[in-house]
Amino acid sequence: MDTQLWRIWVYLAETPLVGLTVTLAAYLIGDWLYRRARLNPLVNPVLIAVVLLVGLLMATGTDYPTYFQGAQFVHFLLGPATVALAVPLYRQFRQVRRHALPLLVALVAGSLTAAGSAVGIAWALGGSLETLLSLAPKSVTTPVAMGISQQIGGLPSLTAVLVILTGIAGAVLAPHTLNLLRIRDWKARGFAMGVTAHGIGTARALQVNEVAGAFSGLAMGLNALATAALLPLLIRLVFG
């Protein structure tokens, strides 16, 4: 490579500018394709952006911590965005209160299904113990999932990855599953999305319908609480 260009690259690679810019650019490409496909859940913008970025980083030999120096500015906004979910939730609160009991029962059923089925399937197909324990909290929003993973003996950093992959799988697969089951109520669709696919499911639900978005955000918060309370007990029962 031309030495002048090389020097510019070495300089830029050390600043957060590149990581931040490529994150936004990759997402814009993903979002553009998603909109062109008329919000088809199979064309998930997070998945497209992640594939593009991993490809780019591997091609340029950039490691994750270097990339994250720039990407952390985007990552940081997850906190205030989670707080902001109170706004759609407040708008739907009368509906939430009216359905409190069904929501609670569905939450416990969904939370147990998420952890139980993931661990069961991976175990049946020969997953290692490390993988099984890291999979158990995968339907919960990242910071809580990492905490639970640590507590039960999984790998928190592997759990973080599995959480994101779960979110993508849920956002991609859930809409068609719900159509197939003829679930048309936006409250039920949103709530199921949030229990299955935490914030990534909520992002998808918000794009499609405000009521679904509010119930998905609610489900995400409640599922974090339910899984954190139930899972360590269950794991102690199963693995002694």
Partner 1 sequence: MLGSLTLLLLCQLAGEIAVRLTGLPLPGPVVGMALLFLGLALRGEIPAPLTETAGALLRNLSLLFVPAGVGVMTHLALVEREWLPIGAALIGSALLTVAVTALVLQGMTRLLHKAGEAEE
Per CB under 8 A, 168 contacts partner 1: yes
The answer to whether the beta carbons of residues 194 and 216 sit under 8 Å apart is: yes
Query: Which stretch, 9-17, 35-43, 130-138, contacts partner 1 (CB under 8 A)?
Result: 130-138
Per CB under 8 A, 24 contacts partner 1: yes
Per CB under 8 A, 33 contacts partner 1: no
Query: Which stretch, 8-16, 35-43, 176-184, contacts partner 1 (CB under 8 A)?
Result: 176-184
Q: Which of 172, 145, 171 is nearest to 159 (CA)?
A: 145
Q: Which residues contact 139 (CB under 8 A, 6 or more apart)?
A: 111, 114, 115, 118, 145, 163, 166, 170, 195, 196, 197, 198, 223, 227
Q: Which of residues 100-129 bind partner 1 (CB under 8 A)?
A: 101-103, 105-107, 109-110, 113-114, 117-119, 121-128
Identify which of residues 13 and 158 has a Cβ nearer to partner 1 in the complex.
158
Of the candidates 93, 150, 238, 239, which one interacts with partner 1 according to CB under 8 A? 93
Of the candidates 12, 14, 36, 79, which one interacts with partner 1 according to CB under 8 A? 79
Q: Which of 25, 89, 79, 72 is nearest to 52 (CA)?
A: 25
The answer to whether the beta carbons of residues 141 and 113 sit under 8 Å apart is: no
Q: Which of residues 185-224 bind partner 1 (CB under 8 A)?
A: 185, 187-189, 191-193, 195-197, 199-200, 202-204, 206-207, 213, 217, 219, 221, 224
Identify which of residues 138 and 235 has a Cβ nearer to partner 1 in the complex.
138
Task: Say which DSSP state 61 is in.
Answer: T
Residue with tokens 């050390």: 14
Q: Which of residues 147-166 bind partner 1 (CB under 8 A)?
A: 147-148, 157-158, 160-166
Q: Which of residues 38-67 bind partner 1 (CB under 8 A)?
A: 45-47, 49-50, 53-54, 57-58, 64, 67
Per CB under 8 A, 141 contacts partner 1: yes
Q: What stretches of 14-155 show up as alpha helix (H) in DSSP?
A: 16-36, 45-60, 64-76, 78-84, 86-91, 93-98, 100-124, 129-135, 142-152
Query: Which stretch, 7-15, 35-43, 96-104, contacts partner 1 (CB under 8 A)?
Result: 96-104
3-state SS track over 171-219: HHHHHHHHHHCCCCCHHHHHHHHHHHHHHHHHHHHHHHCHHHHHHHHHH
Of the candidates 13, 33, 228, 234, which one interacts with partner 1 according to CB under 8 A? 228
Identify which of residues 6 and 42 has a Cβ nearer to partner 1 in the complex.
42
